[in-house]
Amino acid sequence: METFIDLRSDTVTQPTPEMLQAIISAQVGDDCSREDPTVNRLEAMAASRLGKEAGLLVPSGTMGNLVSVLAHTHRGDEVIMESECHIYYYEVGSISAVAGVIPRLVKGNHGVLDPDDLKKAIRGEDIHYPTPTLIAVENTHNRGGGTVTSVEQSRAICDVAKDRGLSTHLDGARIFNAAVALGVDARELAQPFDSVMFCLSKGLSAPVGSVVVGSREFIERARKYRKMLGGGMRQAGIIAAAGIVALETMVDRLEEDHINARYLGEGLAEISGIQVELETVQTNMVYFDVGELGFDSVSFLKELEMRKVRASLRPPTGVRMVTHRHISRENISYVLEVVEEIAKSRSVC
Ligand SMILES: Cc1ncc(COP(=O)(O)O)c(C=O)c1O
- Looking up residue 220, the CATH number of its domain turns out to be 3.40.640.10
Q: For residue 65, which atom of ligand 1 is closest to its CA?
A: 4
Q: In this structure, are 84 and 145 located in the same domain?
A: yes
Q: In this structure, are 223 and 84 located in the same domain?
A: yes
Q: In this structure, are 172 and 300 located in the same domain?
A: no
Task: Give this prediction's pTM.
Answer: 0.97
**CA 259, CA 78: separation in Å to the nearest integer?**
39
Q: State which of 249, 284, 314 marks the end of a domain.
A: 249
Report CA-CA distances (Å) from 226 to 55, 61, 76, 166, 344.
12, 12, 20, 23, 52
**CA 148, CA 129: separation in Å to the nearest integer?**
32
**CA 317, CA 298: separation in Å to the nearest integer?**
8
Q: For residue 140, which atom of ligand 1 is closest to its CA?
A: 1
Q: For residue 199, which atom of ligand 1 is closest to its CA?
A: 10
CATH number at residue 257: 3.90.1150.10
pLDDT tens per residue across all 349 residues of the chain? 569 999 999 999 999 999 999 999 999 999 999 999 999 999 999 999 999 999 999 999 999 999 999 999 999 999 999 999 999 999 999 999 999 999 999 999 999 999 999 999 999 999 999 999 999 999 999 999 999 999 999 999 999 999 999 999 999 999 999 999 999 999 999 999 999 999 999 999 999 999 999 999 999 999 999 999 999 999 999 999 999 999 999 999 999 999 999 999 999 999 999 999 999 999 999 999 999 999 999 999 999 999 999 999 999 999 999 999 999 999 999 999 999 999 999 865 5
Q: 197: CA distance to ligand 1 center in Å?
A: 10
Q: In this structure, are 243 and 321 located in the same domain?
A: no
What is the DSSP secondary-structure string of 81-116?
EETT-HHHHTSTTHHHHTT--EEEEE--BTTBPPHH
Q: In this structure, are 146 and 79 located in the same domain?
A: yes
Count up the domains in the chain and report the number: 2
- Within 13 A of 222's CA, how many CA atoms are on the CB side? 27
Q: 128: CA distance to ligand 1 center in Å?
A: 33
Q: In this structure, are 40 and 153 located in the same domain?
A: yes
Structural domain range at position 172: 17-249
Q: In this structure, are 79 and 159 located in the same domain?
A: yes
Can you tell me whether residue 253 is helix, strand or coil? coil
Q: In this structure, are 194 and 165 located in the same domain?
A: yes
What is the DSSP secondary-structure string of 256-279?
HHHHHHHHHHHHHHTSTT-EE-GG
- The protein residue whose alpha carbon is closest to atom 8 in ligand 1 is 61
Q: In this structure, are 258 and 306 located in the same domain?
A: yes
